């Protein structure tokens, strides 16, 4: 019984993935609109336009599943899983409306990011300025003769690691050439 539900649930997950991928495609455009103007009229317009596209995609998938889903389930998993068709159909219908409204989540994410990013950038620029002032106060001048706390030197184990990597690469190329 769990296996039958799992098969039906997979159809619902595929169904939602198509809708989510459609809203992800438009995420950069939404972020741009929110960052530039953020007007409610423009946001509503894009919500309606993208929601309509998602509606068409989701409706076509649902109708295709209604008409050909039963035969597909029979071909895919066999007659003993025939109830998976009905489970998948019920689960798809239960998420039908949220699937073409999930573009609203992208809009909400974009609106929530703007108030977060401004203080973040201000803080980053302040820290960079403080660091530059501290380095200047300590007469830091980077250059050619600047020393390091722990200079790195090659040791025998470094050369051994290089040798092992080259041998591994040679074996891989030999297997590829030999067709193994």
Sign of CA dihedral 165, 168, 170, 172: negative
Q: What is the pLDDT of residue 114?
A: 63
Q: What is the pLDDT of residue 63?
A: 93
Q: What is the pLDDT of residues 86-105, one digit of tens each?
A: 999 999 999 888 888 888 87
- In tens digits, the chain (180 residues) has pLDDT values of 788 888 888 888 888 888 888 788 888 888 787 777 767 788 888 888 888 888 898 899 999 999 999 898 888 888 888 889 999 999 999 988 888 888 887 777 777 776 666 777 788 888 888 888 888 888 777 666 666 677 778 899 999 999 999 999 999 999 889 887
pTM: 0.57
Q: Are 114 and 31 in contact (CB under 8 A)?
A: no
Q: What is the pLDDT of residue 161?
A: 95
Q: Are 96 and 62 in contact (CB under 8 A)?
A: yes
Q: What is the pLDDT of residue 104?
A: 81
Q: Are 90 and 55 in contact (CB under 8 A)?
A: no
Q: What is the DSSP string of 116-155?
A: HHHHHHHHHHHHHHHHHHHHHHTT----TT---SS-----
Token match 């309606």: residue?
Answer: 48
């Amino acid at each position: 019984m769990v296996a039958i539900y799992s098969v039906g649930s997979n159809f619902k997950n595929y169904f939602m993935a198509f809708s989510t991928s459609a809203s992800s495609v438009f995420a950069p455009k939404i972020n741009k609109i929110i960052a530039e103007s953020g007007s409610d009229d423009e946001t509503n317009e894009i919500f309606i336009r993208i929601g309509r596209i998602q509606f068409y995609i989701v409706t076509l998938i649902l109708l295709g599943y209604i008409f050909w889903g039963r035969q597909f389930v029979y071909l895919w998993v066999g007659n003993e899983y025939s109830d998976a068709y009905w489970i998948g159909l019920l689960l798809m219908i239960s998420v039908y409306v949220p699937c073409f409204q999930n573009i609203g989540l992208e809009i909400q994410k974009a609106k929530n990011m703007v108030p977060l990013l401004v203080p973040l950038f201000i803080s980053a620029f302040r820290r960079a300025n403080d660091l530059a002032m501290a380095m200047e106060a300590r007469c830091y001048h980077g250059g050619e003769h600047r020393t390091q706390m722990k200079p790195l030197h090659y040791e025998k184990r470094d050369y051994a690691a290089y040798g092992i990597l080259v041998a591994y690469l040679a074996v891989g190329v030999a297997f590829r050439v030999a067709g193994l």
